[in-house]
Amino acid sequence: MTRYAFDVVGELYFSRMFGFMKDKHDYRGYIASLDILLPVMTAACVMPTYVRPVFLLGGAVVPGVWDGLKKLRDIEQAAESCVHERLRLLEEGNEFKRKDIVASPFEIQQEKGAKVDFGIVDVKLEIYIALLAGSDTTAAAITSVLYHLMKTPSAYRRLVEEIDSATESGQPSRPNIRYNEAVKLPFLDACCKEGMRVHPSVGLTLPRHVPPGGCSISGQWFDAGTRVGVNAAVIHFDKSVFGDDADESKPERWFREDATNMDRYMFQARTRAPLYPHCFGAGARTCIGKNISLCAMYKVVPQLLRSYHLELAEPRVLWETHNYWFNKPSNVQTRLRRR
């Protein structure tokens, strides 16, 4: 799924897939680079600011830290390469068949960059963030949805029946399912929400600092400057919100009368702002890639289930998860059989 997610980023940002899926290889070593980089970045972000410089300087003698810092530079160079390639094409007068995401920051930079203080460096940062955070989170969410469906046969069958029934009536389309069709399937929506609930893609608390004057949060007073945050999993498994069965994966919970209230506590879901501001962050801190991630998920899950029968190769073996910045799942060996 990580390869698929990277190719989605390539298609939407640069009008071409990188080739992860077609060529079955780690293009430019992006995946391997992130696997080495993320533990180092996570440690640097959560430690006190006065310790961070010492930790990063220690990369000269600590192999793991040094490797992570080198991989960070690899991602930066990849972003620079993408910028230079697009600039070359623009200088040659190449016209693109469709407007991709990278075209927008380039237009801002060229048309009003000086006015809004947005230069080539800012364009590179947009691409850098996409390469750094645009794939692992999406892949984790999709993997969670599929894994928990395969672990819950009744939910799997119900979703397949919904997809097949909708296809017979003309929507979703063939051969490729459109996002605006997929989001109209209620049980698919429930399965995607439940997959993201039981396995949030982000493992950090994404902390904030209490503003001047301090504030009260859930009855507890915090002084100004205090760093506060909450892990999504702590909220997502709160039985006072999601019920006594919060530890279980049950897509049917999203059809309960209190579903609207549960939605309010989801850190990661397809909900409408401003009613549910916590999903994917809020305000200026809203995840800039949330629509790309949701689009990829709502398209690929029904597409796979409509075309193939999926089952775990070893149903009794639990998946493995690695919690750094992202909650990255692994060891989900799956058998596919064309329907």
Which residue ranges make up the annotated binding site for heme? 287
Instruction: Report DSSP letters for 226-248, one per residue.
Output: -EE---HHHHHT-HHHH-TTTTS
Cβ-contact 251, 243 below 8 angstroms: no
Assigned token pair, 88: 């070359």
Please report which residue ranges of 169-246 form alpha helices under DSSP H.
Answer: 179-182, 186-198, 232-236, 239-242
Binding residue numbers: 287
For 92-132, the DSSP string reads: TT---SS--TTHHHHHHHHHHHHHHT--HHHHHHHHHHHHH
DSSP string, 47-69: S-TTTHHHHHHGGGT-HHHHHHH
Phi and psi at residue 168, in whole multiples of 5°?
Answer: -60, -30
Cα torsion 42, 43, 46, 50: sign: negative
Residues 199, 191: Cα–Cα separation, whole Å: 12
Which of 322, 270, 319 shows the shortest CA–CA distance to 136? 322
Q: Is 24 helix (H, G, I), strand (E, B) or coil?
A: coil
Amino acid of residue 153: P
The CA distances from residue 36 to 31, 75, 189, 241, 257, in Å, are 9, 12, 33, 36, 44
Nearest C-alpha neighbor of 193 from the set 245, 141, 157: 141
